[in-house]
Structure 1
Amino acid sequence: MKILDRYILTSFLKTFFPLFIIIMFILLLQTIWLFISELAGKDLDFSVIVKFLTFATPRLIPMVLPLTILLTSVMIFGNFAENYEFAAMKSSGISLQRAMRTLAVFMLFVGFGAFLFSNTVIPSSEKRFINLRKNIVKLKPAMVLTPNQFNDLGDINIKVAEKFGDNDEFLRDVIIHKKSVNRQGNFTVIKAVDGELRGSTDSDLVTLVLNDGNYYEEIQQRSPQKRKKLPFAKTHFEKYILNVDLSSLDNVDMDSQQYSKGYNMLNVNELKSEIDTLSMQVNNDVASLSSDVNRRAGFDGLNKNVKIDSVRTVENDTLSIIDYFDTNKKMQVYQMASSNVDGVIRRLNTTQKNLAIKRRALNKYEMSLHDKYALGISCVLLFFVGAPLGAIIRKGGLGLPIVIGVVLFLTYHFIGIFAKNGAEEGGVPPLVGSWLSTFIIFPLSIFLTYRATRDRGVFNADVFVQPIRNFFIKRFGKSKK
């Protein structure tokens, strides 16, 4: 490696790593602020908090790395131009392309490394991050009872409108859903005007004393006759005592991995497999819907070989089938037709909702697959945006280059967000949602590199100003004469 290449690469790395750490620290603070409700009041160990921040760090790389590359490129090449180092290079016969060559090769390795990182490290850390969040929610729930939302407390789900008292032990408007061991579902509901939480919050046993409420339970009967006679049990109580054992919830394994099928938890091969599975499910649902509707409408029993030209047309309908039935038969025919139509409509609405959910999930999986490739390419393209732009503005340091770089990156980032939101809802294809911002900066990188290598600005203002200036010179020149 020549001395010039070593100097440019060293200057770039000396700015890149501190800037990377600063941006990562800022976004990590934002992550802590977003999840502060899940960390506060849980009495978590320091090791658990360190795990939380460690697993949250890789998910920030797709935003931190491109921004760092753009800002570093603008700052370094702007500093070279401001200190007339580019002028010295050009006087020695070294062009801008030659000065960018070493960093361009380095950016290719960075882009390939970014793809490998997003394909291996980010899915693994995301899986651990999601599971750690789920496990933190289960840890010591007696210490945190959030008003106006259901809280998972042992074998019950409890919702309170307000907590008051010196230790927040008094509750108002309590709603409890008890979990059933033998069957899944919500079959027992308890509602009380107020209540009291007794016992130490650090204890494994929590006692709830409910006042002035109602107890509802759906009875599970085996025979239909008994189910009609006694479908549910309901009673009113003045005081009801409920003991909740939290000993099993205090032994939460923070390393357990229960969730592993999210679109951001899979690598390229797993994403392709999941996309094929979801696509097959969508196609099967559409085929099943078409078959069911045709069966209900009687389309399968029609003679499909009849040619339209062979059917004789008549002006007036002289045959009314319904006239051959009496009143009772007519009512049965109308009820059957109405029932078939209602069934088809319900099936269409249900299938439409299910297909919308599956297609939204399919779009997310496809965008996650394309994002892994787009990250590496965007790192390379943003270098070819930042380096020529720094050479054009001829300003280094932390002032103007930071402002220009942040504005460019925010534009690039928001375009990507809007495109992904549209692709998630099916407005645009997932390919466009993931690659739109990259497609936009690609011609911009070519344009800026071309202008910088020709020692020109971003745009030539004289092309617009000179005709106006000539017009006024001629105008006022004639007036003087």
Structure 2
Amino acid sequence: MKILDKYLLKTFLITFATVFVILFFIFILQTIWLFIAELAGKDLDFVLIIKFLMFSMPRIIPLVLPLSILLASIMTFGNLAENYEFAAMKSSGISLQRALRTLTVAIVIISFLAFIFANNVIPYAEFKFTNFRKNIAQVKPALAIAEGQFSEVGFYNIKVDKKSGENGNFLTGITIHKKSNTGDGSKIVIKAVDGELISSEKSSILQLVLNNGNYYEDIVPEKYEDRQKMPFAKSAFQKYTLNIDLSHLNPTNVDENNVTNTNTMLDVQELRYTIDSLNKSFKTEVVSYAENIHLRTGIPNTQPIYLQDTLGKYKSVPEDILSLYSLDQQSNILKNASSYLTSTNYSIEATKVDLANKQKNINNHLLAFYDKFVIAYACFMMFFIGAPLGAIIRKGGLGLPIIFAVLIFISFHFINTFGKRIAQENGMTPFLGAWMSSFILTPLAILLTYRATNDIGLINMDAILAPVQKLFKKLFPQKKQA
């Protein structure tokens, strides 16, 4: 490796490492802010918080890595151009392609490592992160309830005045509001002097044993005028056991998590197998339901329909089949047919929703499959956007390069998110949705590399201003001097 290659590689890697660390901590702070409700006021010890952050860190890499490469490449080549080092290289016969050779190899290695990371580390971290959030109350159930404030635990809002015991399992001054299934507030209130939390790591049920309390329930009378009296029922108890489903401690519903989030916990081989199984199951269900609907009609596939007359002979069914029946029979037939059509329509609509959810699940798995390759290509593409852009703008440091990097990355991230959302709803193929941002920005990388290689510049102002100057000369011709 020549001295120039070592110099360029060292400069780029130092800048890349610095930018990566800064951006990584910024995104970590964003993660803490997003999950502050789960961390604040829960008496979490330092070890649990570190585990929480460690399991959430890998998901940040797909955002931080391409942005770091983009910003580092702009800053590196911007500094070289600003300090006339590129001019010295060109005067020595070293072109931009030659200067990019060693760095291109380094970016290919980084892209390959990014794919390995996305295929192995991120799925494992997602699995641990989801299960950590789900099972945190099973390890220390008192963490789900904070002192002096209402804590939402599944269908209950629980407030305690004080917690005691080694794990905070013993509660004093308990007030519980149970949510209404109809969404019209809380109609059940439970107050107890003290209680105890009992849980097991093998069970998803958290038991709250209450001692010496009262159970209040609002009663809604059938008559409207009686509702203004606000009647309620009150009962006292010495011991009352409340069972709480721990799956509700995770803001993401566990059943939905199995449908929409497990795709991020699988590697490429597992995703291929899962996608193949889901597609086969989807096609089988569609064919089975279509055959079931057809069988419910009672109409044969190919054989013509014949009716037997009073003489025992068969004749084809007339077009107006209702004319064969009396008016009362016709009325009953039409009512039954209308009822059957309504029932069938409801069945079809429900099945359409179910099939749409299953198709969305398949699309999410396909998007997760393509994302593992997109992140590797994004690293490669961002380098060939940033390096020639830095050579063109000839500005290093943290000023103009940050502006360009943020604008390009926001465009990349917005297009990527937009494409995935449309692909999830089956508005486009998951392949196009996942690769849309790469397809749009790749021509920009090619254009910038071409212009930087030929030393054209970012914008040819002469090509823009020349037609305007000609127009002004025609509109306002200069007077000839005598």
- TM-score category of the 2 structures, normalised to the smaller one: 0.7 to 0.9
The answer to whether residue 95 in structure 2 is matched with residue 99 in structure 1 is: no
For residues 157 and 327 of structure 2, the distance between their equivalents in structure 1, rounded to whole angstroms, comes to: 55
**Equivalent AA in structure 2 for residue 427 of structure 1:** G
For residues 351 and 193 of structure 1, the distance between their equivalents in structure 2, rounded to whole angstroms, comes to: 36
Q: Any residues of structure 2 matched to 1:311-460 within 5 Å, and which? A: 320-327=320-327, 329-460=329-460
The 3-state SS of whatever aligns with 1:458 is coil
For residues 479 and 196 of structure 2, the distance between their equivalents in structure 1, rounded to whole angstroms, comes to: 93
The 3-state SS of whatever aligns with 1:427 is coil
Q: CA deviation at 1:214?
A: 5.9
The 3 A distance-change label for structure 1 pair 389 and 54 is: same
For residues 319 and 450 of structure 1, the distance between their equivalents in structure 2, rounded to whole angstroms, comes to: 73
The corresponding residue for 2:311 is none
The corresponding residue for 2:193 is 198
For residues 103 and 474 of structure 2, the distance between their equivalents in structure 1, rounded to whole angstroms, comes to: 50
For residues 64 and 97 of structure 1, the distance between their equivalents in structure 2, rounded to whole angstroms, comes to: 26
Residue in structure 2 matching 1:244, options 231, 241, 244:
241
Q: CA deviation at 1:66?
A: 0.1
The 3-state SS of whatever aligns with 2:4 is helix
Kept in 2, the 8 Å contact 1:145–1:151? The answer is no
**Equivalent AA in structure 2 for residue 243 of structure 1:** Y
For residues 44 and 270 of structure 1, the distance between their equivalents in structure 2, rounded to whole angstroms, comes to: 35
Kept in 2, the 8 Å contact 1:142–1:201? The answer is no
The 3-state SS of whatever aligns with 2:479 is helix
**Equivalent AA in structure 2 for residue 196 of structure 1:** K
The 3 A distance-change label for structure 1 pair 469 and 201 is: farther
For residues 355 and 107 of structure 2, the distance between their equivalents in structure 1, rounded to whole angstroms, comes to: 42
For residues 384 and 162 of structure 2, the distance between their equivalents in structure 1, rounded to whole angstroms, comes to: 62
1:305-339: per-residue Cα shift (whole Å, max 9, x none)?
9xxxxxxxxxxx98643233345533442343223
The answer to whether residue 139 in structure 2 is matched with residue 158 in structure 1 is: no
The answer to whether residue 216 in structure 2 is matched with residue 211 in structure 1 is: yes
Q: CA deviation at 1:212?
A: 4.6
Q: CA deviation at 1:467?
A: 2.5
The corresponding residue for 2:15 is 15
Residue in structure 2 matching 1:143, options 118, 143, 146:
146
Q: CA deviation at 1:195?
A: 3.7
1:5-33: per-residue Cα shift (whole Å, max 9, x none)?
01100001111111101101010111011
Q: Which runs of 5+ in 1 are unaligned?
A: 178-189, 216-234, 306-316
Q: CA deviation at 1:453?
A: 0.7
1:221-256: per-residue Cα shift (whole Å, max 9, x none)?
xxxxxxxxxxxxxx973224362378998xx9xxxx
Q: Which runs of 5+ in 2 are unaligned?
A: 164-171, 199-207, 221-230, 306-316
For residues 345 and 147 of structure 2, the distance between their equivalents in structure 1, rounded to whole angstroms, comes to: 45
Q: CA deviation at 1:426?
A: 1.1
The 3-state SS of whatever aligns with 2:426 is coil
The 3 A distance-change label for structure 1 pair 22 and 78 is: same
The 3 A distance-change label for structure 1 pair 448 and 295 is: same
The corresponding residue for 2:280 is 280
Q: CA deviation at 1:69?
A: 0.1
In the superposition, the TM-score normalised over structure 2's length comes to 0.80
How many residue pairs are counted as aligned between the two chains?
427
For residues 475 and 463 of structure 1, the distance between their equivalents in structure 2, rounded to whole angstroms, comes to: 20
The 3-state SS of whatever aligns with 1:43 is coil
The 3 A distance-change label for structure 1 pair 239 and 245 is: closer
The 3 A distance-change label for structure 1 pair 137 and 426 is: farther
Q: CA deviation at 1:343?
A: 2.7
Kept in 2, the 8 Å contact 1:384–1:449? The answer is yes
For residues 116 and 265 of structure 2, the distance between their equivalents in structure 1, rounded to whole angstroms, comes to: 14
Q: CA deviation at 1:410?
A: 0.6
For residues 202 and 339 of structure 1, the distance between their equivalents in structure 2, rounded to whole angstroms, comes to: 52
For residues 440 and 13 of structure 1, the distance between their equivalents in structure 2, rounded to whole angstroms, comes to: 27
Deviates more, 1:458-467 or 1:389-398: 458-467
For residues 303 and 365 of structure 1, the distance between their equivalents in structure 2, rounded to whole angstroms, comes to: 43
In the superposition, the TM-score normalised over structure 1's length comes to 0.80
For residues 376 and 11 of structure 2, the distance between their equivalents in structure 1, rounded to whole angstroms, comes to: 22
The corresponding residue for 1:65 is 65
The corresponding residue for 2:169 is none
The corresponding residue for 1:268 is 268
Q: CA deviation at 1:145?
A: 9.7
Kept in 2, the 8 Å contact 1:38–1:137? The answer is no
Q: CA deviation at 1:277?
A: 1.5
Q: CA deviation at 1:445?
A: 0.7
1:331-354: per-residue Cα shift (whole Å, max 9, x none)?
442343223212321221111010
The corresponding residue for 1:229 is none
The 3 A distance-change label for structure 1 pair 434 and 90 is: same
For residues 451 and 66 of structure 1, the distance between their equivalents in structure 2, rounded to whole angstroms, comes to: 22
For residues 472 and 191 of structure 1, the distance between their equivalents in structure 2, rounded to whole angstroms, comes to: 75
The 3-state SS of whatever aligns with 1:198 is strand
The answer to whether residue 52 in structure 2 is matched with residue 52 in structure 1 is: yes
**Equivalent AA in structure 1 for residue 364 of structure 2:** K
For residues 422 and 44 of structure 2, the distance between their equivalents in structure 1, rounded to whole angstroms, comes to: 39
For residues 404 and 212 of structure 1, the distance between their equivalents in structure 2, rounded to whole angstroms, comes to: 61
For residues 148 and 132 of structure 2, the distance between their equivalents in structure 1, rounded to whole angstroms, comes to: 20
Kept in 1, the 8 Å contact 2:119–2:267? The answer is yes
The 3 A distance-change label for structure 1 pair 477 and 304 is: same
For residues 366 and 331 of structure 1, the distance between their equivalents in structure 2, rounded to whole angstroms, comes to: 52
For residues 122 and 160 of structure 2, the distance between their equivalents in structure 1, rounded to whole angstroms, comes to: 43
The 3 A distance-change label for structure 1 pair 151 and 451 is: same
